[in-house]
Every structure is written in structure tokens, then in C-alpha cells.
Amino acid sequence: MNVALVRGTAVQDHVALAEIELCGELIIAASAARGERLSADRIDEVLRVSDSQQDDGPPPPGPGA
């Protein structure tokens, strides 16, 4: 059986890497938490979400909807 060697295929998905990093930070925060769950405020803090970045729900339907 022959296996083809692939060279120079270092593909990086920067969005996926950022999501993995944030998940890791959430896991660390959860393991350090004293209670059973992280509060929504603590999750926002870990994920570096500010009030100005949060949306107020789904966007309104577009024309013809």
C-alpha cells in the first residue's frame, strides 16, 4: 500500500482557532468556579463580550417576508 505524501498543506481556519481558544477559556473558568454553573455575566466576561456588542435578538424580517 502506497501513501501519498502531501506537503505544504498547513491550512489554518482562524475563526475555528479563535472559537477553540474561547472554549478553552470557558472550560478553565468553569473548572475554577465555586458554584455549579457560570453566570451569564461571568460567561460574557470570559468571552470578552460587552453590552455594546450584544444584539437585541434576531434581525427583523426583510422585505417580502
Q: Specify the number of domains making up the chain.
A: 1
Query: Which domain range does residue 20 map to?
Result: 14-46
What's this model's pTM, rounded to 2 decimal places? Answer: 0.55
34 in a structural domain: yes
Task: Please write the tens of the pLDDT for every residue from 4-48.
Answer: 665 665 667 889 999 999 999 999 999 998 888 899 999 999 998
Q: How far is CA 20 from the centre of its chain?
A: 6
Enter the C-alpha cell of residue 22.
Answer: 474561547
Report yes or no on 59 lying in a domain.
no
Which pLDDT score, from 0 to 100, does residue 7 have?
Answer: 65
Phi then psi dihedrals of residue 10, to 5 deg: -75, 85
Given this model, what pLDDT does residue 20 score?
Answer: 93
Backbone angles phi, psi at 32, to 5 degrees: -90, -10
* Calpha distance 65→29 (Å, rounded): 42
User: Looking at residue 51, what is its pLDDT?
Assistant: 73
The whole-number pLDDT of residue 29 equals 94
- pLDDT for res 35: 81
Query: Phi and psi (nearest 5°) for 57?
Result: 125, -170
